[in-house]
Amino acid sequence: MSYIKLKGSREHIELEPAEAKAIKRVHEDCSAPPNYPIKTETWSGNKGNIDYVVITKDEMTEKNKGNIIIKNYDDNYKKERTQILSLTPEQRGQRIGLFELLWWGATGSKEIPEDIFKKTIQIQTKFFEENPKRIFCDPILFKKFLPHKGELTIWQRGAFDIIESCVGTDMRYAHFAYAMPAISQLEISQSEKEEITTRDIDDWLEN
């Protein structure tokens, strides 16, 4: 049985081994302050509330496997972010894959006019100069030259969902996950999330 022992209490909070390992990393990390929030399925508190963490080598459960999958996804995502963040703002500005998806979602066309293509690179380059921890440009900056949408297909709405998800994750990592060692980007509290101005792209295209 893996568990955490709370200070000033005989109480043990039982955990899955993978969850205990994640909390142990935070508990032993000197850069994480005592008020660093930690939340499990049965307990929530701060790093400073924990006396010690005990980890046992229990048989791997389905939940353990799921946690490992999430960790691997996080590790791969962080590696990709690091690679992109190593690029200059000009180089990042040239990465227009997300804008291509936005343009198709708004117009139904894969062809981007040359003048808009150049404006996109300029806007993105300036954005990355001002936001060095971001890997995606905020789509709302392109609103002024996106046409008002007509009837959208389910695929176009799906494109907006993908963009909102990518930019939302990017914002959370830029603002929170790199500030201190997070257990997982999926565990960042909903209350901590900054209001994402790119949500509901199909709504702001109407205005």
For residues 53 and 91, membership in a common domain is answered with no
Asked whether residue 148 is domain-assigned, the answer is yes
Asked whether residue 156 is domain-assigned, the answer is yes
Asked if 64 and 16 touch (Cβ cutoff 8 Å), the reply is yes
Asked whether residue 66 is domain-assigned, the answer is no
- The whole-angstrom separation of Cα 108 and Cα 103 is 7
Condensed to tens digits (0 to 9), the pLDDT of residues 148-189 reads 656 667 777 788 888 888 898 898 888 765 443 443 444 433
In the chain, the number of structural domains is: 2
Q: What is the Cα 66 distance to its own chain's centre?
A: 18
pLDDT tier at 75, thresholds 50, 70, 90: confident
For residues 108 and 162, membership in a common domain is answered with yes
Written in H, E and C, the secondary structure of 144-155 is HHCCCCCCCCHH
Condensed to tens digits (0 to 9), the pLDDT of residues 9-26 reads 877 888 887 788 888 888
Alpha helix positions (H), 96-153 = 97-107, 114-130
The helix (run of H) or strand (run of E) holding residue 2 is strand 2-6
Range of the domain at 16: 2-59
For residues 97 and 171, membership in a common domain is answered with yes
Q: At residue 114, does pLDDT exceed 90? A: yes
